[in-house]
Amino acid sequence: MTEPVVGDVTRGAARASAGGAGERVAILPAISLWQPWASAWMLEGIKDHETRHWRYPSRLEGRTVLVHAAKRLDAEGYEDECHELFGPLWRTSLPRGAFLGTVTLAGCKVITNRELFNGATGAADMFWGNWEPGRFAWLRKNPALFKTPIPARGRQGWWTEALVQP
C-alpha cells in the first residue's frame, strides 16, 4: 500500500513570519493522537474514522488538518495487529512527538448503533475504533504523509501550527 507524500515541510512561526522567497506558509489546525492510532489513521483503508467522546468543531468540516503523533504509546490488546501492520520493530519505529502528515475532515457522526457503522465501514476501521453509542466518528479523507515526520510538542484538543513549504 502506498500513501501519498507531501514535500519537505518545516514548522515554526519564526520561519513563517520570515516569508522567504518562494516559500508557502500554511496555518493549519492540529490534533494529537496516541500511537499507534495516529499512524493507523494516516493509512488508506485501515482507519478511516477517529472515534472520540466529543465532536470536532463544525468550522473544521472539510478542512485539512495536521495529525500529530503524541509521545504516548498505548497499544495494549493491539500488539499482534501492530506487528502485522507496522512490522516487528513497531514499538520503536513508530514516530512519536511529531507531525505525521495531513488529513481532510469529511464528516462527524454520532454513534447511535455500532451495527449501523459496521455495515458502512470496513472491518479494519471497526477494529481500530471505539464504536460505543454516544461517541463520535470523525471521517477523514486524503491522508498525506510527510516525507519525514516533523518533531513538535503535542497538545490536548485543537491548536494551530504554522508550516512552511519551500
C-alpha cell at 3: 500513501
Write the single-letter amino acid at 121.
Answer: T
Confidence of residue 9 (pLDDT cuts 50, 70, 90): low
Looking at residue 121, what is its pLDDT? 76
Is the pLDDT assigned to residue 35 strictly greater than 90? Answer: yes
pLDDT digits (tens, 9 = 90+) for 69-114: 999 999 988 999 999 999 999 999 999 999 999 999 999 999 988 7
Task: Please give the mean pLDDT across all residues of the chain.
Answer: 86
Locate all alpha helices (DSSP H) within the chain, ordered by sequence.
Answer: 13-18, 37-41, 79-86, 90-93, 114-120, 123-127
C-alpha distances in Å from residue 12, one per residue of 27, 63, 164, 166: 10, 20, 8, 13
Q: What is the pLDDT of residue 149?
A: 95
- pLDDT band at residue 24 under the 50/70/90 scheme: confident
Q: Domains of the chain, with CATH numbers?
A: 5-165 (2.30.130.30)
Which is more confidently placed, 154 or 121?
A: 154
Asked whether 137 and 49 are in contact (CB, 8 A), the reply is: yes
